[in-house]
Amino acid sequence: MINKMKRILLHRISWIVVLIILSIISIMIGVKDFSLRGIFTGNADDVNLVLISRLPRLISIIVTGASLSVAGLIMQTITNNKFVSPSTAGTMEWCKFGVMIAILLFGGRSSLVKMGVAFICALFGTLLFMKLLTKLQFTNAIIVPLVGMMMGNVVGSITSFFAYKYDIMQNMSSWLQGNFSLIIKGRYELLYIGIPFFIIAYVYANKFTIAGMGESFSQNLGLNHKRIVMGGMVIVAFITSTVVVTVGSIPFLGLIIPNIVAIYKGDNIKNTLFDIAILGSIFILVCDILGRIIIYPYEVSISVVVSVVGSIIFLVILFWRNKHAR
């Protein structure tokens, strides 16, 4: 038992070391000349660059990676389906729909108002998705995310229609294309609101695991299944809306990271929450660094890089699961 705990501790320390190294690399990369020595010697230009641009970008990357990965874990646990995530359940498309409504009705208001409208739409769409799963009772695990993506495409089409109609397509694109290049001091702090939901997710981790085993099983153990599911969907909708409004839409993250961790650590949400959060941050950091150096000094959008890398990883996971299922 002690040896097992030591292995887990060493494993997590190694992940933290990797995260620190990638964080330093991320801070160093950029068009403007920068030196770490300048920070320690008090160089005004270097200090201002870190505080205004590089550090806010790094923090937003770490928080975004951890947030979306945990949101994907909660959805997969509650639905008991490894192919469900905010991007495959239509949650992100409902967030985009909410942003469109917020731009039309509250265009001059703060990002907090836009996040509130996006949260309401995301929660409604996610609960509608869960209601469909309950009513239709799919036996094939692949059908579940397909239904979510179909719903998401319908909502996305409606969003695009109204965006074209009211000539806000360019405004919508600037909001919804996942991109960290515009993250500076004063434009990322909204992500901090999602941090308390990490704590709630950890506290209710075991209950989410039980809820994923079915309503009758949960009730036999004295849990209110509907309340637990509602709590999980609120967490997912809130995290997704804060990320979409602040950074934009990032696909695949909540889908592949929980699956990767589940391969070597199992499905106990409380035991894997830390690993999933830190691996999600590392994955986004790697993709962001790639996007900044591929066509340097220009930058590839993080959503494009994650889509390419994430799709390859997802195919590998599918083949691996298919091979070991036989």
> Which tens digits make up the pLDDT trace of 3-23?
666 777 787 788 889 899 998
Tell me the average pLDDT across 191-205: 76
Query: What is the pLDDT, as a whole number, of residue 167?
Result: 80
The candidate with the shortest Cα–Cα distance to 253, out of 196, 299, 311, 301, is 311
Q: Tokens 């085993």 belong to which residue?
A: 213
Domain containing 200 — which CATH number?
Answer: 1.10.3470.10
- Residue 292: give the domain boundaries: 2-324
Q: How confident is the model at residue 174 (pLDDT cuts 50, 70, 90)?
A: low
Letter string b/e over residues 207-223, b meaning 16 or more CB atoms within 10 A of that residue's CB: bbbbbbeeeeebeeeeb
In order of 59, 178, 230, the CA distances from 285 in angstroms are 10, 14, 31
Q: Tokens 């950074």 belong to which residue?
A: 247
Name the domain count of the chain: 1
Let me know: does 243 contact 191? Beta carbons within 8 Å: yes
- DSSP lists the bridge partners of residue 249 as 177
Q: How confident is the model at residue 96 (pLDDT cuts 50, 70, 90)?
A: confident
Tell me the average pLDDT across 200-221: 76
For residue 177, report the phi and psi dihedrals to the nearest 5 degrees.
-80, 115
Query: What is the pLDDT, as a whole number, of residue 138?
Result: 62
